Amino acid sequence: MSKQQKPLRCPMGVPGGIISAIIGLVGIIISIVNSNWTVFPFALALLLLGLPLARVTMLVHIALDKVTAIEEQKK
């Protein structure tokens, strides 16, 4: 009666992507409030790079879990 447990993993791309997206969003807000337009492009780049980084990392780990499940079914 043992249940198969899901592998416990914390894909580091997900927290990294979320943190960079949050930093980018805060940087955009601060640069608009302070009228500091030199920081704005860098904050926008962090926001636009952080969100896909988190999503791609999640997709890769979901795909690896599915491949592992298919390999277990074949055995």
Q: Where in the chain are the domains?
A: 13-74
Q: Are 49 and 23 in contact (CB under 8 A)?
A: no
pTM, full prediction: 0.66
33-72 core/surface letters (b: 16 or more CB in 10 A; e: else): eeeeeeeeeebeebbeebbebbeebeeebeeeeeeeeeee
73: left (phi over 0), alpha (psi -120 to 50) or beta: alpha
- Whether the predicted pLDDT of 44 surpasses 90: yes
pLDDT of 45: 92
Task: Give the pLDDT band of residue 1 (cuts 50, 70, 90).
Answer: very low
pLDDT of 43: 92
